[in-house]
Amino acid sequence: MVFKTPMKYFLIAGKSEGFKPLNAFDGALLDAGVGNTNLVKMSSILPPRAQLIEPIKLPYGALVPVAYASYVSENPGERIAAGVAIAIPDDEDYPGLIMEHSGVGSKEEIEETVRAMAIEGMKMRGKSVKEVKSIAVEHTVVKCGAVFAGVVLWD
């Protein structure tokens, strides 16, 4: 068996209300542009030299590797958020590190936390960080809300 290493990636985020928690989560996936694919949750490593691209329309039913954070709440008025961050190392031959975070709070709070997590993870690896890329989304729950943020790896 040959394992292929995806060399392109993009960041996505979405939010939604739904009838039930799974409907809200599904709506957030649709809002993020990945609702008609099969997400394969991966651990948080970005291949060395991977190239950031603009989000693309993915084929229906595609198996899509993604590192993501999500949160669903049925508490009306609650502000929820999800975010992901990628620490890109100075060393181009070393992989990047993706971190995910979600919960009750604002987009700014979640994004600040997840960016700090990515930097800390690189420090734990003894690597310096060239840059950090991130995305986050927030939603104020009406009845049943969800948020989703991810890093999609693609060929």
> 48: which 2 tokens?
């060395």
Model confidence pLDDT, tens digit, residues 85-125:
999 999 999 999 999 999 999 999 999 999 999 999 999 99
Q: How many CA atoms lie within 13 A of 7 on its CB side?
A: 2
9 pLDDT more than 60: yes
pLDDT at 16 over 90: yes
Residue 113 CA to residue 133 CA, distance in Å, equals 13
Known catalytic residue at 43? yes
For residue 2, pLDDT over 70 is answered with no
Question: Is-catalytic flag, 100?
Answer: yes
pLDDT surpasses 90 at 4: no
Q: Which domain, by its residues, includes 132? A: 83-141
Is residue 96 in a domain? Answer: yes
Catalytic residue among 36, 38, 106, 128: 38
Say which of 16, 44, 70, 73 is annotated catalytic: 44
Backbone angles phi and psi of 29, in degrees to 5: -65, -45
The two tokens of residue 55 are: 């989000």
pLDDT in tens, 31-75: 999 999 999 999 999 999 999 999 999 999 999 999 999 999 999
Identify the pLDDT of residue 53.
98
Choose, from 16, 70, 100, 134, the residue flagged as catalytic: 100
Determine, yes or no, domain membership for 137: yes
Number of neighbouring beta carbons within 10 Å of residue 104: 14
Q: What whole-number distance in Å separates Cα of residue 122 and Cα of residue 77? A: 36
The verdict on residue 128 lying in a domain is yes
Number of domains in the chain: 1
